[in-house]
Structure 1
Amino acid sequence: MSQPQIVCLLILGLTLLLLVTEWLRADVVALGAVVALVATGVLVPEQALKGFGSEPVIAVIGAFVLSAAVVNTGLAERLGQWVTRIAGTRLVWGLLVLMLAAALLSALTHHLLITALMVPIAGTVAARGNFPASRLLMPVSLSASIGTTLTLIGAPAFLVADHVLQEAGREGFGIFSLTPIGMALVACSLFYMLLPGRWLLPDRVGSDSSTVRFALDDYYTEILIVEGGPQVGLGLAALSERYKGRFEVIDWLRGGDPIRHGRDERKIQAGDVLLVRSTPEGLADIADEKGLALHAVAKYGEATDAEAEEQFGEERLAQLVIAPRSYLSGRAVGEVDFRQRYGVIVVGLWRREGWVGGELSGIRLQPGDTLVVWGEPQRLDSLGLQREFLMALPFRARRLRRSRAWWALGILGSSVVLAATELLPVHVAFLAGALGVVVARCLSAEEAYAALELRVIAFIAGALALGAALEQTGLTTLAATHFAPLLQEFSPFWILVLVFSAGAILTQILSDAATVVLLAPIAARMAEPLGLAPEALVASLAIGAVAAFLTPLGHHGNLLVYVPGGYRFGDFFRVGAPLTVLFGLITAFVALWLWPAA
């Protein structure tokens, strides 16, 4: 083994160790690998940095901007309302509608966005039908993941797989090349969840199974009564009646102490703090209501609402979901200087399980909690890059550009048509679509840039550099030469099943894109000695990396429903393992039909 190969293996081993242990963020690890490859001479700078201008990265950029336009114009909200009406109140029908909608929507937009959209819808359907949301949330997450197999742009892993094939001298995939496999997997998942899988789903509810516990419609926050406001002098009953439908008073503090006795006789005073539960619209309106202020802004910002607004500029609200193993988990809100650390102020909290009471600063955060934070747009947009948060979402009460919804839909459809007819390459078609939604004012240029998940882009670019190093040093050929003879005793069908399994297992500790970057070049090299089409091997590997449903760690969508569904780690394996086996068999069968063995 040559010196460059040894150095490349050492860098690969350290990269995998850091990715598995999560000592550093994945994008930081990938960029570190780029620097190490150049510093050790394994790659020249042009080779190492080529990934940043590669087709997968450009296509992902376009897809992120188009997804943001779908949300920003209210199109996603309209689709959600339509799905809610169609789903009705019956479990089987609701399961069918939600799964089918999640799969179809994920084919063209980010599956995590669709999962987040479907969580409150599933909660509403479950509450109306009087059955636990755990019956719906896992199937929704599953369908959103499987829906990505319907198009080439559904998941970054497929774009990487296409890039690997082109680097190997093949034509690559078209936007609908994987669609027959995806359709078979969607049909299988629907059949499985409606019949045998439905009995494997857990039947759990929290201490409160009301709609608001699942629908993210009930936030806990604190309101400060401002000097000179019209609320001063009112009784609590009169104030509650005045703001009925906008918020519900849970507790009343004066000087930091709760008022427990004589509430009916006491009058509201300036400086009193009300602990309330509020709808998204009500919470967003509080800061604009004369005499009321979000207490956290005054308390942690050490400024009045007006002074804080002057400092922050055009402030807005956003939602942050606390990630598993987050630094924030177990810490009280007041222990974390959110203003100093993240440039925002916590103004509200949503939690599925358990009653949230007491002052906001004393509440200890848990994975899955949703924080409502207030700050300037630039700081809010960057929070999605922090490893402490599973995802950052716009606050649903924000103003949407609803009049541009049809423009967004038309531009998204046009991008798909241009790519499908090969009038433009996929990455160019979606980059054109991203430009189109900005020109059509579906979102501003600033919002388009903010929609880019830079950590995903950086990770893909860095991972591609690592894949190039494996190819450049000959390690890919060496691995293919070693593994191909071991597989020759198997039939083509079982070879594809084994390749699918390799992707399914490795993606539980790495991302789907990283799995494809590492293994797809080896799979492509093994094709000729095994008498198989490279497309069949690479497609089986990529779908295994994307469609494996074995643990909640395999896909972020699983983590998003983990807490709201009251799930346990083993629930995902019990439900997903039989389905993943079926997926492997179906993928191998359809892949051989699409790309027959030589």
Structure 2
Amino acid sequence: MNPQLLIVLVLLAAAIAMFALGRPRMDVVAVLMIVALPLTGVLTVPETLSGFADPNVVLIGALFVVGEALSRTGVTYRLGDWLSRTAGTSSARLIVLLMVCVALLGAVMSSTGVVAIFIPVVLSIAKRLGVSPRQLMMPLSFAALISGMLTLIATAPNLVVDAELRRLGHDGFGFFTITPFGLAVLVLGIGYMLLARRFLAGDDDGAVLATDRSTFPALIEKYGLAERERRLKVGRRSPLVGLPLDDRTVRRDFGLRVLAVERGRWGQKTLTLGTDPGGFRIRAGDVLLADLAGHAGGAGSAAGRLGVAELPLGEGFFVETSRELGLAEIILPPSSAALGRTVAELRMHDDHEVDVIGIRHGNDLVSRAVSHERLRLGDTLLVVGSWDAIRRLGAPGGDFIALELPVEAEERVAAASRAPLALLSVALMIALMVTGLVPNFVAALIACLLLGLFRCIDLGAAYRAIHWPTLLLIVGMLPFAVALEKTGGIDLAASALVSWLGGAAPALILAGLFAVTALIGMFVSNTATAVLMAPIAISIAGQLGASPLPFAMVVALAASAAFVTPVSSPVNTLVLDPGRYRFGDFVKVGAPFAVIVGLVAVFLVPVILPIHP
């Protein structure tokens, strides 16, 4: 072993040790390696910084933006809503649908982001079905990991392995090369979780994580909204047809306060808030969410005078629109200029872009029209408007203090009406990648530009969506592959593995490669694991005179098989607390499934990707 290789191995061991200990952060470790490698003299500065010019780093960053746009336009949340409706009361059906939805969504966006989005959805469904979150959270994380096996762009290790193949002059993976293996694993994973869920059952069935935060249903009941607010469908002969949404005659002449308007568009419902009309005019067929507290005759009289039909409201409407329509409680501090004034005098609609739809004087609910109610110290007001307007209203130093926002505020959708455009952009990206008309990173950047053009995401949100620590980790670890190659480390490791397995059958060599990769991935980032193992796998193929594709594919599959510990992947860590899991729960359920995935890799990969083509 030459001295330069020894230095590289010492640095690599130090990086792995710091990864395993979790100190310092992984991105900091990557920066330390970027600093250390050129000081050893093994790599030049351009070689050390070559990761910044890697197209896959740009691609991964762009995919973070695409995933955020899908969230901001509500695509992911609508999928969760559909899941809740379709699952009904069957927990088995829920597990099947949950794993399919998460896997398919994770195939085109960050699996960590998908899990973060679905955790509150799953908790809500668990409460409704009366099942323990323990039986649902692990299927959620396993499906997110399996999603990395469905497309080339689903996870960073796939891209790292593909890049290493191309760097060494081999044909890389196609967009769907990994898909057959992922589909097989997904089917097995669903069946496995349907059986394994019994091992996750506990004494807390039907319990969910408690929260002190308010919810929409609680606020609706507290302020009696179901008795006052109505949904009114506008008829063809209604005098409201053609009126601007902000027309004051609607409120003055009819005593009707329009809070929002539902309208069918492109096969889906869109919601326009009364506080943000933007030139919106009422049409026949629109459904108005209206406050009738100021209408003397109530809903029946309004229907006759306005040519509208009353539709059911209940708490469901507010819950279904909670990602666009915000509800929140505010209080008045002693220094507030609003004390002693009426709601009408405050001009909340015009000056703050919210409407006051409920007032409580201490424990007493105001059931009459609130517009002429004088405010006093200790009052709590319920306001409705966009989430951004509600946050501005409660800004420090103002006349109002916003109480803690309800849990629904975490699921707000900033650009719901642009969901079809977001889907169109993602479909174009996938089409470009599948056909190979442009490089993958160019296709992703085109999608990002379209998403910005269609206002599915703004520039600030795009920059915030990029997970910079992940990019730094990749950039910092990629030079190790070059360093190990230059110093002979890759050939040495490949020779050692081949020598250890002797003249074993190719299936046994693939099994050993999978086991080593999966073992390292239990303690080290799967991206870093792929960086280390991909060149070794390709070198083994070269020594055996075999095609590098099956060996590289086994590494890609093993890198995503992080089922065994809660620290193997961020998606496992995310579900640890909501699922009330212990370390042993992942070992007990995850280890057998990792073996199943290994068997799929060992026996199915050579069938689809022949070792000796």
TM-score band w.r.t. shorter chain: 0.7 to 0.9
Does residue 583 of structure 1 match 2:606? no
Which residue matches 1:166? 166
User: Aligned with 1:150: secondary structure?
Assistant: coil
Q: Which residue of 2 aligns with 1:456?
A: 470
Who is 1:201 aligned against?
A: 200
Other structure's SS at 1:49 match? helix
Q: Does the aligned pair in 1 maintain the 2:130–2:205 contact within 8 Å?
A: no
Tell me which residue corresponds to 1:500.
514
Instruction: Output the CA distance in 1 between the equivalents of 2:387 and 2:169.
Output: 56
Alignment partner of 1:396 is 2:411: yes
Question: C-alpha displacement at 1:206, in angstroms?
Answer: 8.4
Corresponding residue number in structure 2 for 1:390: none
Alpha-carbon displacement from aligned partner over 1:475-503 (angstroms, at most 9, x marks no partner): 11122122211123322112212211112
Whole-angstrom distance in 2 between the partners of 1:471 and 1:445: 39
Structure 2 residue corresponding to 1:225, chosen from 316, 332, 337: 332
- Judging changes above 3 Å, is the alpha-carbon distance between structure 1 residues 524 and 138 closer, same or farther for their aligned structure 2 residues? same
Alignment RMSD (CA, Å): 3.5
C-alpha separation in 1, matches of 2:385 and 2:422:
25
Confirm or deny that 1:572 pairs with 2:586: yes
Q: 1:6 to 1:273 in 2, by over 3 A?
A: farther
Tell me, yes or no, if the aligned pair for 1:280 and 1:395 is still in contact at 8 Å. no
- Give the counterpart of 2:481 among 462, 467, 470: 467
The residue that corresponds to 2:130 in the other structure is: 130
Computing the radius of gyration over CA atoms, which structure comes out larger, 1 or 2?
2
Q: Return the offset for 1:184.
A: 0.6
In structure 2, the partner of 1:105 is 105
Amino acid at match of 1:155: T
Specify whether residues 151 and 237 from structure 1 end up closer, same or farther in structure 2 by C-alpha distance, changes over 3 A only. same
Show CA shifts across 1:398-427 (max 9, x none): x52122211110111111111111112222
Distance 2:70 2:193 in 1: 28
2:146–2:182 CA contact under 8 A, matched in 1: yes
**1:500 and 1:541 in contact (8 A); partners too:** yes
Q: Name 1:38's counterpart in structure 2.
A: 38
Task: Write the distance in 2 (CA, Å) between the matches of 1:216 and 1:14.
Answer: 48
What does residue range 369-448 of structure 1 map to in structure 2 within 5 Å? 395-397=410-412, 400-448=414-462
Q: List alignment gaps of at least 5 residues for structure 2.
A: 220-327, 342-358
Shift of 1:279: 12
Partner of 2:64: 64
Identity level (%): 31
Matched-pair contact (CA < 8 Å) for 2:329–2:383: no
Counterpart of 1:514 (choices 520, 528, 543) is 528
Whole-angstrom CA distance in 1 between matches of 2:102 and 2:486: 40
- Structure 1 stretch displaced more, 232-241 or 55-64: 232-241
1:395 counterpart SS class: helix
Whole-Å Cα distance in 1 between the matches of residues 568 and 218 of structure 2? 29
For 1:435 and 1:402, how far apart are their aligned partners in 2?
Answer: 18
Listed as ranges, the matches of 1:177-216 within 5 Å are 177-194=177-194, 196-205=195-204, 209=208
Which residue number in structure 1 is paired with residue 116 of structure 2? 116
Q: What SS class does the counterpart of residue 152 from structure 1 fall into?
A: coil
Judged with a 3 Å threshold, the aligned counterparts in structure 2 of structure 1 residues 516 and 219 are, in CA distance, closer, same or farther, namely farther
**Paired residue type of 1:36:** A
Aligned twin of 2:364: 238
Q: Name the residue aligned to 1:324.
A: none
1:198 Cα deviation from its structure 2 partner: 2.5
Does residue 608 of structure 2 align to residue 594 of structure 1? yes
Question: How many residue pairs align between the two structures?
Answer: 482
TM-score with structure 2 setting the length = 0.72
Q: CA deviation at 1:213?
A: 8.9
How far apart are the structure 1 equivalents of 2:426 and 2:459?
17
Inter-CA distance 417–207: structure 2 relative to 1 (3 Å threshold):
closer
Letter in 1 for 2:37: L
1:561 is displaced (CA, Å) by: 1.2
Counterpart Cα distance in 1 of 2:385 and 2:563: 36
Give the CA deviation at 1:562: 1.1
In the TM superposition, residue 531 of structure 1 has moved relative to its aligned partner by 4.7
CA distance in 1 between partners of 2:122 and 2:98 (Å): 7
Q: 2:499 is matched with which residue: 467, 470, 485? A: 485
Deviation string 1:85-122 (CA, Å, 9 cap, x unpaired) is: 11212111111111111111111111111112221222
Any conservation in 2 of the 1:488–1:530 contact (CA below 8 Å)? no
Distance 2:366 2:602 in 1: 62
Q: Deviations over 1:358-394 (max 9, x none)?
A: xxxxxxxxxxxxxx9xxxxxxxxxxxxxxxxxxxxx9
Deviation per residue, 1:25-63 (Å, 9 max, x gap): 111111211111112221111111111111220210221
Contact preservation (8 Å) 1:103, 1:144: yes
Tell me by how many angstroms 1:273 deviates. 10
Tell me, what secondary structure is at the counterpart of 2:527? helix
Moved more, 137-146 or 426-435: 426-435
Matches within 5 A, 1:1-12: 1-12=1-12
Verify the 8 A CA contact 1:127 1:209 in the aligned structure 2: yes
Cα drift, residue 445 of structure 1: 2.2
Shift of 1:229: 3.7
Contact residue 19 and residue 26 of structure 1 kept, 8 A: yes
> How far is 1:507 from its partner?
1.1
Q: Name the structure 2 match of 1:14.
A: 14
**Residues 120 and 216, structure 1, Cα contact 8 Å, conserved in 2:** no
TM-score (norm 1): 0.73
- Contact residue 120 and residue 214 of structure 1 kept, 8 A: no
- Distance in 1 between the 2:208 and 2:525 partners? 34
Q: Distance in 2 between matches of 1:76 and 1:192?
A: 25
Retained in 2: the 8 A contact 1:219–1:349? Answer: no
